[in-house]
Structure 1
Amino acid sequence: MRYTNIETALAGARALLQQKDIEQPRLDAEVLLAHVLGCSRAALYAGAHRRLEPGQLQHYNRLVQKRAQGHPVAYLVGHKEFMGLDFTVTPAVLIPRPDTELLVETAVHLLSKRAGGRPLMVDVGTGSGAIAVSTAHLVPTLRVLAVDISAPALEVAQKNARTHAVDDRVVFLKGSLLEPVMERLNGEPVDIIAANLPYVPSGDIPGLSREVRREPLLALDGGPDGLDLYRQLIPQAQKLIKPGGHLLLEIGPGQGETALNLLNNWQAKLYRDLGGRERLIAAEKR
């Protein structure tokens, strides 16, 4: 593709992305070019006739070609907005979704009802650290233990904690589910455990979009019905959460009833996201 200015660059990119059945060709073309030029999307149109330097054009061409092949925009530009904060993302982590903001909002609401002290939250499967970092950012007294089995994911999460100045209150641990937390706490009870674990049923993985299939399989595959890791997590959480504390589980549409049945000994409630889909279980320890 040979582009001469912003306007023609965008037009060519949109045409290619549309031809390759990319869902939002216009938006993606704009985001990628704004990234290359270091400006806002609005500035692209304010300077529509600005000529592109050869290096800028070459960089943009590479990104557009990768997007046409199904690479997620967030990986191409290296960041994603979540809860009003900008998070570094790499192919080592799941890209933060707006749907997960419901979990953070619920955690912040529950923490706001606790009087005084320095509450403790555990974020299981922290990935980019989006849940741990944004909750700590919104609740200045909060302490967080954030766990992930992936060392590369923890490196990304630690960077995000430093970026948003919560690294003094968020401790990152490597390990499976709550095992490293149990070793560290020595009996100190936890106020909230938040978990956005892999919950896509294994049989659904091949039918996911090209973009989602480029995200870490480790962060997607939840076993036959998508809830295998939650079955392991819930008994562990029972031992750690204080009476009246909460376990927050992000789930997928259609998993609500099964997930609630796993929490017979809890006072559990199902929440739906803005699209009306089953998305979150909030369970209080009796």
Structure 2
Amino acid sequence: MANKSLPFRGGVGVGAADGVLGETSPTPSPSPQGEGGVARDALATAAARLAFSDTPRLDAELLLAHALGIERGALLLDLERAVPAGFADLVERRARHEPVAYITGTRGFWTIDVAVGSGVLVPRADSETLILAARDHFADRAPARVLDLGTGPGTLLLAALDEWPGASGLGVDSSETALRYARSNAENLGLAARAAFVVGDWAEGIDDRFDLVLANPPYIATGEALPAEVAGHEPAGALFAGVDGLDAYRAIVPMLSRLIAPGGAAVIEIGYRQAAAVGAMLAAAGLSVALHHDLGGRDRCLVATP
């Protein structure tokens, strides 16, 4: 159950199914230039090949920078550089709707980069709303203990620990694959001493209290259509949550009152049409609720306090 604000519900921006439906199949076009071509021409050709994407030019730039082993910014400063032959293969993988982050093996989130791959949900930028909401809640103080339910590759927990250097935390996920990524990401970011990860069913068996509880659970209805790059590649267990998309909240919400320390908060991602339903669950559990929007103005997370 990984992090997943998708370009539909939080994708490089939205949440699953919130806005990337109805994408079309890629239109055949020439393969990008291989070795001997120049970046400017190869990017234009690749972007045309990836016209099905919401961000074809950005996709092409990220793939070419990866093929060259440089940052995207460095690529854009020199568009006359030679193109490695392997770039064409990367573009063809993307043309088969494989997520860019799976191809490059990494995704930037908040102030960190996390490694991702098959078996974990790709972090989306809209999920950064949870860190913003948590920062607003704590204002001039910092949480000491953080719990991330459905941590996936560790995205939210590690972003929080990077934001608050004095904090430590626990990430829980039912997927061993996701937790392997999470532990590796913690090591690579120099956060392993402050981050622990365990296999679990949400917070079952956890009796500690935490200043900040983060959760980006699956919230897509099982019958909802998703883009090919999501449905065909990312793990269904991190996306779907019953016929109405609310099953994960039904499991998590009753646990929150015993998990949140005095003065703390739970910050929970929601689909953009789920604020009323999840808010009612939280209120029924005796929690106060505040709604936060993502940069696109959509409902994105709820902050619950005792």
> Under a length normalisation based on structure 1, what TM-score does the superposition of the two structures give?
0.88
User: Which residue in 2 is equivalent to 1:159?
Assistant: 184
Which of residues 129, 135, 144 is equivalent to 1:108?
Answer: 135
Distance 1:193 1:45, change over 3 A: closer
- Tell me how far apart the structure 1 counterparts of residues 198 and 73 of structure 2 sit (CA, whole Å): 41
User: Which residue in 2 is equivalent to 1:250?
Assistant: 269
Which of residues 104, 107, 124 is equivalent to 1:80?
Answer: 107
Which of residues 272, 283, 286 is equivalent to 2:304?
Answer: 283
Task: Could you tell me which runs of 5 or more consecutive residues in structure 2 were left unpaired when the two chains were aligned.
Answer: 1-30
- Tell me how far apart the structure 2 counterparts of residues 34 and 61 of structure 1 sit (CA, whole Å): 13
User: Which residue in 1 is equivalent to 2:96?
Assistant: 69
What is the 5 A alignment of 1:216-235?
216-235=235-254
Which of residues 28, 36, 39 is equivalent to 2:59?
Answer: 28
Aligned residues: 270
The one-letter code of the counterpart of 2:136 is H
Matched, 1:196 2:228: no
User: Which residue in 1 is equivalent to 2:50?
Assistant: 17
Shift of 1:11: 3.0
Q: Deviations over 1:162-191 (max 9, x none)?
A: 122111111101111001423xxxxx4222
Which of residues 2, 19, 38 is equivalent to 2:69?
Answer: 38
- Tell me how far apart the structure 1 counterparts of residues 109 and 73 of structure 2 sit (CA, whole Å): 21
Shift of 1:40: 3.2
User: Which residue in 2 is equivalent to 1:149?
Assistant: 174
Task: Could you tell me which runs of 5 or more consecutive residues in structure 1 were left unpaired when the two chains were aligned.
Answer: 183-187
User: Which residue in 1 is equivalent to 2:193?
Assistant: 168
State the secondary structure of the residue aligned to 1:280: strand
Q: Deviations over 1:55-75 (max 9, x none)?
A: x31x21111011011111111
- Tell me how far apart the structure 1 counterparts of residues 133 and 76 of structure 2 sit (CA, whole Å): 38
Distance 1:119 1:17, change over 3 A: same
User: Which residue in 1 is equivalent to 2:257?
Assistant: 238
Q: Where is the helix percentage greater, Structure 1 or Structure 2?
A: 1
State the secondary structure of the residue aligned to 1:147: strand
State the structure with more CA Rg.
1
Q: Which aligned segments of 4 or more residues in structure 1 are displaced greater than 6 angstroms?
A: none
Q: Deviations over 1:9-55 (max 9, x none)?
A: 2233222222xx22222221111111101123344355444434xxx
Shift of 1:147: 0.3
> Under a length normalisation based on structure 2, what TM-score does the superposition of the two structures give?
0.83
Distance 1:68 1:112, change over 3 A: same
- Tell me how far apart the structure 1 counterparts of residues 298 and 78 of structure 2 sit (CA, whole Å): 41
The one-letter code of the counterpart of 1:280 is C
Q: Deviations over 1:240-265 (max 9, x none)?
A: 22343212110011100001110121
- Tell me how far apart the structure 2 counterparts of residues 91 and 136 of structure 1 sit (CA, whole Å): 25
User: Which residue in 2 is equivalent to 1:185?
Assistant: none
- Tell me how far apart the structure 2 counterparts of residues 276 and 10 of structure 1 sit (CA, whole Å): 32
Contact 1:108/1:139, CA 8 A, preserved across alignment: no
The one-letter code of the counterpart of 2:209 is P
State the secondary structure of the residue aligned to 2:108: strand
State the secondary structure of the residue aligned to 1:249: strand
Say which structure, 1 or 2, has more relative contact order (CA 8 Å, 6+ apart): 2
Shift of 1:93: 1.2
The one-letter code of the counterpart of 1:126 is T
Taking only the aligned residue pairs, the percentage that are identical comes to: 38
Shift of 1:114: 4.5
- Tell me how far apart the structure 1 counterparts of residues 288 and 71 of structure 2 sit (CA, whole Å): 46
Distance 1:11 1:228, change over 3 A: same
Distance 1:65 1:119, change over 3 A: same
Matched, 1:179 2:200: no
